[in-house]
Amino acid sequence: MPESTETIRLSMWSGPRNISTAMMRAFASRPGCRAVDEPFYAYYLAKTGLKHPMYEEVIASQPTDWQVVAANLNGPHSAQELYIKQMTHHMLEEVDLGAFRHHRNCFLIRDPRRVIASYAVKWDRITTDDIGIRRQLEIFEALQRLTGETPVVVEAEDILKNPEDMLRKLCAALDINWQPEMLSWPAGRRPEDGVWATHWYASVEATTGFAPYEEKEITLNDDLEQLAAEQQPSYDALRAYKI
């Protein structure tokens, strides 16, 4: 698959409800950086038939062929940096992860209980496949094999507790310059937001930066506690590599 070598491609691999949109805001604020919001979402919905909120709008907004999406990401871009908000659960088994071997890959992780608690507020169907933590580890290990390098891992809570320090460390790990513009952004909808922003992005649209950290109490029912426990080994394996 042809690739342009001029643009730095930053693939941030995350599951849902994991400050991934706030991170997209931060990187989109970098001078010379263009952000892409979940480019494989329409492919994922078309392939699985899952009726997510705004299903029809999402399908109509993006290519549904993963090869076309990958080719678009790896083709010529005028931006110095291309930040790609990647959702791990969108990467079905047929997707060739070799398409991302020349990207600077980073994995954004979060405690499964926090992810599940946040996801449950928005949608009542929650499975291992939906939250993507197990798939996140699979992709991490696949890219590690393909590139011979260990991808960068960063934890959401670490960023929320100390945004500037952790974003500086993340930029260093990705071999890009630190830009203080990453700490703030305009409130409201942004040009890079997917059409699904209407349903999912209300809280981040009200922000202008990373808010002061507040510890939140989490309560899950027995089924969701079991689901969280099933994700814990994958999360722990990734957490061992975090910066």
Assign residue 165 the CATH number of its domain. 3.40.50.300
**Residue scoring higher pLDDT (53 or 60):** 60
Q: Which of 230 and 212 is assigned the larger pLDDT?
A: 230
Q: How many domains does the chain have?
A: 1
What pairing do the DSSP bridges indicate for beta strands 81-87 and 152-155? unpaired
Residue 193 pLDDT class (50, 70, 90 cuts): very high
Residue with tokens 């209300």: 202
User: CA-to-CA distance for 21 and 85, rounded, in angstroms?
Assistant: 8
**Greatest extent of the chain over all pairs of C-alpha atoms, in Å:** 50
CA angle 184, 185, 188 (to 5 degrees): 140
What pLDDT does 8 receive?
98
Q: Are 91 and 11 in contact (CB under 8 A)?
A: no
- Establish if 23 belongs to a structural domain: yes
Domain residues for the domain of 116 are: 8-239
Structural domain includes residue 96:
yes
Residue-level pLDDT at 120: 79
Give the tokens for residue 111: 């405690």
Q: Is residue 122 domain-resident? A: yes
